[in-house]
Amino acid sequence: MFSSLRSRLWLSYALMIATALLAITVVFFFYLLRNPPAYRQISIQLNLVLTVLSNRSDGWSSLPPARLQKIFGEQDELFDVRILLLDPQRNLLVDSRQGKSPALLHSRLVRVARLTQIVEDADGQRWFSLARRLPDGNYLVAAVPRPTVSAVSVLTDEFLPPILLGGLAALFLALILAFGVARWVADPLQRLVTAAGQFPASGAEPLPLEGPQEVRELLNAYNRMTARVQSSQQSQKDFVANVSHELKTPLTSVQGFAQAILDGTADTPAAQRSAAQIIYDEAGRMHRMVLDLLDLARLDAGTLDLKRGVVDISALLQSMLEKFAPLAGRREVRLSFSGSSLPPIPGDGDRLAQVFTNLIENALKFTPAGGQVGLSAKVAGAWLEIEVSDSGAGIEPRALPHIFERFYQADASRRGGEQHGAGLGLAIATEIVRAHGGKISVQSSPGQGSVFFVSLPLVSPDASTLVYKKR
């Protein structure tokens, strides 16, 4: 019956409320036993009588005792209160019930002024009394017998009516409030359970952040998790689609030219050699793409170990210049390098060479004849900043935020040709730079060329240990 969170919350709140009401009830009951309303009414009555008589006390000192006795007797009958007059030494002057009731121990009647107190008469009966000092120095005392109050009468007359009425009303309202609080906590959690059970088959709409702070944090964490899962699923779908697309073109070429050789369409040595060359080139293209995919997989899994070493960045960039000088010459593009006295940096030289190979190769690919590609490096604080710039066509603003994404190509039509690639190089370069603790960015405007910035941390050679873990 109480297996659900909502019912358990409601039950726990109900028990706490009932416990609190029970504690209040017990305390209230014992308070009534010690101070029943009848006692409080007596105190009010005594105060009232003393106030009335005190206002009439002028001239009492000149009256004979018999006259005062008569006056006190009349007031006793009127108020049903025993009235006494004591001199400043606590000696009895007048007692309205003298001879009718046992004498009170009047020496104690004015022990505590202005507070109701209990005194005993000669027979041991207890009286409530209250004393007040008059202007002439005498004491006016009012007293009534202490009534006997039983626990049963307190329970039935004074305790049960307000407790049953007020307590049940409070309990009812508190239980309604507890039910509302239980729903406030449990309903968002129930929606979370339902959404988690239906995910990912039915997709995942973000859950509204409702309930207590802890529940809202849980819902927010679930929303972030589902967003990451959906992003990962979409990335997997895009990956399969992109890989399929990238493999389709070279495989079609390989299949077509292999068939030409097999069926004799390429019937001359020159045609056969041309077909074989195309098959070889396309196979190499697929091989490079597979290697890139393996690198990305290792980077994603955090299993790409960067070889520890100290990299002479000046020598590495100079070797890049020498490596691409022939290609730049064929394209009629001027290739330059500026930077000297660069400090060594810790890292994996082969992987950094892979980064700059990709950047320079892209720069040469998109720079027309007569243009220029430049490499520059400088120290900026704790960083080594390397720039690869070109005077090519530049990158459209809409493409800049996506330029480092996998398989992204600014040419959405994916036309073939010399400038066509798989769109993996910049993604791999980004991961390698991050693995070195660095940053990579780009600035470009259409018609103004592009500048790629690579920032690598400067660390002394004796601290050049690199271990890559996926972030």
Q: How many residues does the chain have?
A: 471
The answer to whether the CB of 94 falls within 8 A of the CB of 106 is no
pLDDT at position 465 over 70? no
Q: How confident is the model at residue 376 (pLDDT cuts 50, 70, 90)?
A: very high
Q: Is 263 exposed, middle or buried (0-12, 13-18, 19+ CB in 10 A)?
A: exposed
Q: What is the percent of the chain where pLDDT is above 70?
A: 83
pLDDT at position 156 over 70? no
Concatenated DSSP letters of 84-146: EEE-TT--EEEETTBTTBPPB-GGGTTSSTTS-EEEEBTTS-EEEEEEEE-TTS-EEEEEEEP
Least trusted range by pLDDT, from 92-101, 172-181, 377-386? 172-181
Contacts of 192 (CB under 8 A, 6+ apart): 207, 218, 219, 222
Amino acid residing at 389: S
pLDDT at position 114 over 60? no
pLDDT of residue 263: 85
pLDDT at position 193 over 70? yes
> What is the average pLDDT score of the chain?
79
pLDDT in tens, 260-312: 888 888 788 888 888 888 888 888 878 877 887 787 777 777 767 778 788 89
Alpha helices in 264-348 (DSSP H): 269-301, 313-331
Q: Regarding beta strands 372-380 and 334-338, do their DSSP bridges make them parallel or antiparallel, or are they unpaired? A: parallel
Q: How confident is the model at residue 384 (pLDDT cuts 50, 70, 90)?
A: very high
pLDDT at position 113 over 80? no
pLDDT average, residue stretch 387-398 = 89
The single residue listed with the structure tokens 């935020």 is 401
User: For residue 218, what are its two tokens?
Assistant: 């849980």
Amino acid residing at 232: S
Q: How many whole angstroms separate alpha carbon 422 and alpha carbon 242? A: 9
Determine if residue 83 is left, alpha or beta; phi over 0 gives left, psi from -120 to 50 gives alpha, anything else beta. beta
pLDDT average, residue stretch 307-333 = 89
pLDDT of residue 442: 93
pLDDT in tens, 202-249: 566 777 887 777 878 888 887 888 887 777 777 677 777 777 766 787
User: For residue 22, what are its two tokens?
Assistant: 């029970």
pLDDT of residue 420: 52
pLDDT at position 390 over 90? yes
* Helices first, then strands: H and E counts in the chain: 11, 12
pLDDT average, residue stretch 136-154 = 77
CA 275 remoteness from chain centre? 64
Q: How many whole angstroms separate alpha carbon 172 and alpha carbon 170? A: 5
Contacts of 84 (CB under 8 A, 6+ apart): 72, 92, 94, 95, 96, 104, 106, 109, 140, 141, 142, 143
pLDDT in tens, 27-69: 777 776 666 676 777 888 888 888 888 888 777 777 888 888 8
Contacts of 311 (CB under 8 A, 6+ apart): 344, 345, 346, 347, 348, 349, 352
Bridge-partner residues for 457, per DSSP?
A: 383
pLDDT at position 201 over 80? no
pLDDT at position 162 over 80? no
